[in-house]
Structure 1
Amino acid sequence: MTQFSTITYPTPHADYSRYLDALSSGEIPRARELAKQLNITEGDLVACRQGVDTWAIKPPFQDVLAQLETVGEVMTITRNDEAVHETTGTYQTFSFMEKSGTGLVLSDDIDLRLFIAQWHSAYHVIENGRHSIQFFNANGLAVHKVYRTENTTAEKWDALISTFRDTTPAIPNFLPLDEQSPSADTTPEGFDHALFSQEWADLKDVHQYHGMLKRHGLSRTQALTQIGEQWATKLDKDSVANAITFAKECHCNIMVFVGNKGCIQIFSGEVNRLLIKGPWFNVLDPAFNLHLRVDLIADVWAIKRPSNDGIITSIEAFNSKGESILTLFGKRKPGNPELPLWSDIVERVINKQIPETQSALNSNASKEQK
């Protein structure tokens, strides 16, 4: 067992006693929900326990991520308020772009876009025997978590923690979150609709999309409201669950993107075990779990973008603030056209067709709630 260095801990956090009271009150919710219950950030919830079951990890965080490949199998979690995305595999082929402060992980099982310049602090956490490294942005939002599994090489994990554990940790000062978001029905002053429509039609790569929105000063939902039905179709709120269920029935390989301001996590492949439990729609496969709060979906759109590989179609869900919850694509690599099977699934969803197994899922969910 690796011996960790002697550490000087900061003055006990004011929220620690409130955290202990919450622990003794009964059933403990997920960390993000518990933080909301205590009216603090998830970063505060972790930081207030330093020296008890959490320990600060020192930057640069790209060096921490680069070392994760040595530990073998891990489970990664990236989430927002409405969706939780979990993948299990190895943290291989990490690369870091110094100029942009961004990182990539491109292994068969773990696929990440990491906006490390947005990260503020990190902690080694031990809860109920589970070890993790958790990363937070300046607002105290958990942007990415990496968990040790039964197949992780424990000695390598401990060595990584020993290398990066901060021996002079401080109480972080997380900033208030700016909750303002533009209305989907408005446009910025001077918006040129004709130019925007032409630029959309001229897209050559799906990765040009966000740059185009930035040039026109549009949020995602503003863009979809403005572009018209040739490129964007508004869908029912159950369309995400229906699309995933169709993909299971058709054995269609899909891509599932879930992100936040610090990270986007992607799964590519088939989905198999689906379960509805309360407000959660779940994918529960060995290497991929998705937990989606369908009741918190405000809008869903089917989006078509032109590219050099043909039309690329996605289904994207948004929350009440116009923030992206989740995006679905057919599995593809650059240079390849869209899977015809995925194109067909999107058309079925647009036409309000219901998957054959959806009624069984709903029936099982109703039985569990009784």
Structure 2
Amino acid sequence: MTKQPLSIADTLKQAWQDLRADHPHMRIRDAAATLGVSEAELLATDCGNRVIRLRAHWPALLSAVGTLGPVMALTRNAFAVQESTGLYEDIRPCGDAILIAGHHIALCLLIGIWHSGFAVTEDTHLGPRHSLQFFDTGGEAVHKIYLTEHADAGLYRRLVDIFRADDQSPNPVLPAHGPNPPLGDLKQCAELPESWRRLLPADTSEAAVTGRIGMPALRAFMQQLAALMLPIQVLVGNPGALQLHDGPIQNLKITGPWFNILDQRFNLHLNEMAVAGADIVQLRYRQHALTGLLVRGQNRQTIASVFGGYDDTIGENGFWRDLLLASALAGGS
């Protein structure tokens, strides 16, 4: 009997299995880079097994996530990962985006560039871990939602059944061409909350760079913020999602190249090796001046943004501003 040639998906799946045999702790993002494919393409090879392709009904699906109880929201770019545990509540459309303002979770999800989504089951030393994972047209992960031990597993299974796509073939279904489609200007959305409207100009020409600090000074500054329990706003994003933390930070830890904030409901992982420095920027919001930090990569891309607490009447926290400017004087580059 003639042996049938392996399909592209089968070949890729076998290559991934071989890679995991040699590197059992390698993350799928790194495995995809090693194999020269996107994360979505690699994940799709297990469709019909531990991976279920979802229908692209993103607003309805995200609204259903609000019924699950506490989940962990994860948004990352190449050099920073932000994780927040809380509830998906107050879910509303805003132009090309979906805004979520739940307990301990604040998201601006740019679903206009979302292309594919999967329900994923992974084996861990604590047992199966369930998640919903979303990808753009290039197969890059834009947002992931992980069930916590307090989430409703039964409702999760029902959600997956409802949004299960008809096509569960292991073949990747990325478009054959082009980058993500252009999106409208979020600031033109009348329903955009003030918290997002205030932070969105931070990476544009509206922000004036007034100073710069290196990674050692940034690390020391974050340690000061943690010691003082000073409320701050930390924003990490990619073309398909923005995730905001608003509150103090506490537990800082360096692990290899990673600078980590490891709090109960908020984690940040920042790859120090990729950080060229942090620009101190100033901009105007209504009648107030704002001062913040844009953490930059080697190509001047923004990895993360950090701003101080804000009050609608008095503006930004003056202690935050003074502390940041003092840090710049002490450790600027």
**What band does the TM-score fall into relative to the shorter chain?**
0.7 to 0.9
2:224 is the alignment partner of 1:250: no
The code of the aligned residue for 1:172 comes to V
Please report how far the alpha carbon of residue 102 of structure 1 lies from its aligned counterpart in structure 2 after TM superposition: 0.6
What amino acid is the match of 1:90?
A: L
Q: How many residues align?
A: 303
Secondary structure at 1:50 match in 2? coil
Mapping for residues 165-244 of structure 1, pairs under 5 Å: 165-169=164-168, 171-173=172-174, 206=198, 209=201, 213=205, 227=208, 231-244=209-222
Alignment of 1:322-333 (within 5 A): 322-333=300-311
* Alpha-carbon offset, residue 239 of structure 1: 3.6
Q: Does structure 1 conserve the Cα–Cα contact (< 8 Å) formed by 2:39 and 2:141?
A: yes
Instruction: Summarize deviations over 1:183-219 as a string: whole Å, max 9, x none.
Output: xxxxxxxxxxxxxxxxxxxxxx745737964xxxxxx
Match of 1:86 in 2: 83
1:101 has 2:96 as partner: yes
1:250-289 correspondence runs (5 A): 250-289=228-267
Q: SS in structure 2 opposite 1:63?
A: helix
- Alpha-carbon distance change, 143 to 71 in structure 1, aligned in 2, over 3 angstroms: same
Tell me how far apart the structure 2 counterparts of residues 162 and 303 of structure 1 sit (CA, whole Å): 47
Instruction: Answer yes or no: is 1:63 the counterpart of 2:60.
Output: yes
1:236 touches 1:300 (CA, 8 Å); kept in 2? yes
User: Structure 2: 5+ residue runs without aligned partners?
Assistant: 1-6, 180-196
Rate the CA distance shift 1:110–1:208 in 2: closer, same or farther, 3 A. Answer: closer
Instruction: Report the secondary structure of 1:160's partner residue.
Output: helix
Counterparts in 2 of 1:160 and 1:334: CA distance versus 1, 3 Å: farther
Q: Give me the whole-angstrom Cα distance separating, in 2, the residues matched to 1:95 and 1:257.
A: 20
Offset at residue 31 of structure 1 (A)? 2.2
Residue 150 of structure 1 aligns to a residue whose secondary structure is coil
2:323 is aligned to 345
CA distance in 1, matches of 2:129, 2:80: 21
1:114 alignment partner in structure 2: 109
Q: Which amino acid aligns with 2:135?
A: F
**AA at the equivalent of 2:173:** P
What is the CA-CA distance between 1:149 and the residue it aligns to?
0.7
Amino acid at match of 2:116: S
Separation in 2, partners of 1:92, 1:139: 29
The equivalent residue for 1:156 is: 155
Q: Is the 8 A contact 1:140 1:174 kept in 2?
A: no
* Structure 2 residue corresponding to 1:31, chosen from 19, 24, 28: 28
Deviation at 1:121, TM superposition (A): 0.3
- 5+ long unaligned stretches in structure 1: 1-9, 179-204, 214-222, 355-370
CA pair 176-318 structure 1, distance change in 2 beyond 3 A: farther
Distance apart, 1:111 and its partner CA: 0.4
Contact 2:311 2:317 in 1 (8 A): no
Contact between 2:233 and 2:307, CA under 8 Å: does it hold in 1?
yes
What is the percent sequence identity of the aligned residues? 27
Whose strand proportion is higher, 1 or 2? 2
Matched, 1:21 2:43: no
TM-fit CA distance, 1:241 = 2.2
Secondary structure of 1:151's partner? coil
* Counterpart residue number, 1:7: none
State the distance in 2 between where 1:325 and 1:257 align: 9
The CA deviation at 1:80 is: 0.7
Counterpart Cα distance in 2 of 1:206 and 1:109: 19
Contact 2:231 2:309 in 1 (8 A): yes
- TM-score, normalization by structure 2: 0.84
